Chains A and B, each alone.
Chain A
């Protein structure tokens, strides 16, 4: 059973991580990074997914706000939307995109992308444009 004192995970995690990431600005090899994973529901609420969708949307909005606050201070905040079903043994039976080859996402490709997002160094340029 959920405890009545439960609070919001992303909020708590970010409040704990951000001061430590700020402390690494200037000394870490790449901009210190807070990376958040989202889902298709971060932007699009699918049928039967209202519980998941509103939570995903809130997480994305929070991440965007944090990015604008901490980007100028040197911390790279990114929200990565995993827009599909990841290809793993347990999703093998799922009929995704008509079962065509490449219809599911390779988890290694996602982690490679996340790694690339972490080491990219164009945070300030991006923030100036949006």
Chain B
């Protein structure tokens, strides 16, 4: 079920809101939210629901067992067991075909065909997100940073809660625990207002901005052989903006829905294209994921405490895995490595005092680098990515007027420039301190209506595929 679909907006959300606030007893409300979230998930494909239930059960039990003992070996064994199940499921459903194909490719390249079969495994939607949510819980319990819950409904609600289930933000149990333990007694007008504000901002970002860029960006990427300097830059910038408005739109909708059902989710985007270096970019882009990799991978690897060389290696390893998290394809791996290297180089240059002092220069360089890296992220393969990046250097000249007219109609160019300015200079949804006036309420309602009118053909969110 998509947030931007009639069935969600008119069939699912109203009864869930009514049911959630009508049930004042904690257990009943949590049970209701769990069941509603499972229904939300099963609407897509009920066959994968047991997978999520098994992750929930394994981590719930593992966390309690870890907490029960102080014997390090037992604690470690339970943690390893939990991680093995989580990563095993993720590895099988998300990466098995990728690795088999890669082995076949390597075998073919060295003249020793392996002939491994393609398993054609369907990727369960949201598996990367709920697995990471759940893994963070057992790791936090093992680290004694959080006390496990004995209340199965608290835990099942934490894993399954529909606003974050499919595409994040990746929430930590530590954030939701107090909210699950003592649910809010009623929907206050503040929460309703904030929820409506975030949800509408998300709808508008997704439906009226990202989806308007989408057909033009798709056309540019699928006709990459015809592009010159302008077209390839339009493709790169267009996709960067599309991805930002699509995913931050989803995150806003998730945050808004959370407020409407009595929860608070963490911020996931903080104007990433205003970043002044790559490190700053990762503090602003998909913040819940980068924080996850920081806390559960980069720091355990040694972080930045073991010298410059080791820090660079840790960054590259972390970003390699962050790239792979996004999808089982070499484009994602290379994208992650490109960012890992950039983070390492930035760290070295910063230590040597060689980074530019001008904020404007830093912002422009960072933006261009991030945009170029997103070409690798979006391209169907590395060959196409290389072609577009090469043409962004001007190697294929500038397109003919007719090609420009075909692939870059005026409306697209205007939208692209407007969104570029908006992403660079406007405050984001978390920063905006809109006074809750009647007229803004009317504007919000009309904006939501206009967004709903463009739902007719639902476009899935880009991050659903990860």
Q: Do A and B come from one complex?
A: no
